[in-house]
Amino acid sequence: MHGSSEPLHGLLNAAAVRERAHEMLDIAIGGGVEGWTVDPGRLGAAAELTAAVTRERYPDLDIPFHARWRHFVAGETVFPSGAGPAARARAAFDLVILSVLLDAGAGPGWRYREPVSGAILSRSEGLAVASQWLFEAGAFSTDPDPQRVEGAVLADLGPGILAAGFQVSDSNPLLGLEGRTALLRRLGAQVLARPDLFATADAPRLGGLYDVLAARADGGRLPAPAVLELLLEALGPIWADRLVIDGVALGDCWRHPAIRRSDASDGLVPLHKLSQWLAYSLIEPLEAAGIRVVDIDGLTGLAEYRNGGLFVDTGVLRLADPAAADRPHQVSDPLIVGWRAMTIALLDRLAPKVRERLGVSEENFPLARMLEGGTWSAGRQIAAKLRADGGPPFTIISDGTVF
């Protein structure tokens, strides 16, 4: 890592996400981000709504982290079985990494019938439970123990496996089935290409990342930002149609003219939403295996449409041209990049106001609890009140790997 690529590698961490997000917000408050105006005085209203929703959902304020585990069967944190703590952690990594990467938008018409209870699920919850059933049935394993996700199986995956597992039919269409399959195939190829990150005693698998992180723990302690940095290194090459500059795969990182630098990172805004959600989702299996995850607020809030919609719908962020809400936008549009970056910075500014209203400390109420309590649900709730479809405040054309 030297020369012109060093500033690019410097974007592959949470600190860079936070630095450029706050820079974007400061520029916007000064009127320098085209398409947006900011009213910081409305943060109180967003904090009131978030605190109220948090108390409604978690009256005792015993709030878990915002993680994929909330979406599995009955919302329980039930880690897969295993012969010991490390084996259980590898299986948990296998399941949650697979499931997060399959969590693209399902589309309005898709439903999943849970085989045991018969419950009808949709959206993220349906996708989570469907992926859980596939995992437990051994769809991604060649081993008699089905609870694993092997690189070789993913690399050769055909669309029929996911179609059957997600109960897809002409009357139950799932958006992006081919794209999901292609993503998992690229993931499998990456697992096989990086035995230094994914190898285990039996087969290269997603759970191999647990062993890498366990080895990096110092005295049983592991900073949460280190989890993200490993994920960005391990998964960066699997994303299609993302920026790759000087051989550095930048993932969820986009261009915006307001952010200026005198090096190769000029104009680049890292966000890493999906990877950070995955990092949050790996904290619980790491801690269950005896590794204490520290500096959880070293990660950032998540730049997705529920959190971002909360700030638009409460008036903290306003479109300079209201008609822009009626036009579809690409994820790469500067309007959307600016919105997502400011969402991260505003979540940092919102957190102390929510803590004050709830009477909790920063130590006991990190961002991961506010997101779960919290801003994600408040964003969904206010969206449902303001728009018939409950969607974001404007239409975003997405490949499903961002939101």
Token representation of residue 185: 């195939």
pLDDT at 77: 47
Percent of the chain at pLDDT exceeding 70: 96
Burial class of residue 233 (count of CB atoms within 10 Å of its CB; 0-12, 13-18, 19+): middle
Q: Is the pLDDT of residue 229 over 50?
A: yes
Mean of all residue pLDDT scores within the chain: 93
Instruction: Output the pLDDT for position 50.
Output: 98
pLDDT tens-digit map of 104-136: 777 778 999 999 899 999 888 899 999 999 998
Residues 6+ apart with CB under 8 A from 39: 315, 316, 317, 318
pLDDT of residue 391: 85
CB contact set of 180 (below 8 Å; sequence gap of 6+) = 102, 104, 162, 400
- What pLDDT is attached to residue 75? 44
**Could you give the 3-state DSSP secondary structure of residue 312?**
helix
The per-residue pLDDT for 76 is 47
**Spatial CB neighbours of 140, under 8 Å, sequence gap ≥ 6:** 94, 98, 134, 148, 149, 150, 153, 154, 157
Taking Cα atoms as reference points, which of 403, 253, 225 lies closest to residue 341? 253
Using an 8 Å Cβ cutoff, are 53 and 373 in contact?
Answer: yes
In this structure, which amino acid lies at residue 231?
A: L
How many CB atoms are closer than 10 A to CB 350?
26
Q: Where are the domains of the chain?
A: 3-397
What's the pLDDT tens digit per position in 288-298?
A: 999 999 999 99
| Percent above pLDDT 90 for the chain | 81
- Of residues 145 and 307, more confidence is placed in 307
Beta carbons within 8 Å of 136's beta carbon, 6+ residues apart: 80, 146, 147
Contact assessment for residue 110 and residue 90, using Cβ atoms and an 8 Å cutoff: no
| DSSP bridge pairs for 172 | 169
Whether residue 159 has pLDDT greater than 90: no
Q: Which of 101, 156, 45, 391 is nearest to 275 (CA)?
A: 101
Take residue 275 and report the two structure tokens written for it: 């990877």
Residues 361 and 333: beta-carbon distance below 8 Å:
no
Confidence band of 70 (pLDDT split at 50, 70, 90): confident
Q: How far is it, in rounded angstroms, from Cα 88 to Cα 68?
A: 17
Residues 177-191 have a mean pLDDT of 93
Torsion angles phi and psi, residue 36, rounded to 5? -135, 145
| Rounded average pLDDT over 71-85 | 63
Judge whether 397 and 330 are in contact, CB under 8 Å.
yes
8-25 pLDDT tens trace = 999 999 999 999 999 999
Cα 136-138-142 angle, rounded to 5 deg: 150
Q: Per the structure block, which two tokens stand in for 65? A: 């982290």
Residue type, 381: Q
pLDDT of residue 82: 59
Q: Which residues pair with 244 in a beta bridge?
A: 249
The span from the CA of 297 to the CA of 361, in Å, is 13
- Token reading at 124: 């993220």
pLDDT grade for 73, boundaries at 50, 70 and 90? low
Cβ atoms < 10 Å from Cβ of 37: 12
Lowest mean pLDDT among 173-177, 207-211, 221-225, 276-280: 173-177
Rounded to whole angstroms, the Cα distance separating 46 from 241 reads: 34
pTM, two decimals, is 0.94
Q: What is the DSSP letter of 67?
A: S
Tokens for 57, please give them. Answer: 């959902």
d(CA 98, CA 87): 17
78 has a pLDDT exceeding 60? no
**Residue of higher predicted confidence among 42 and 399:** 42
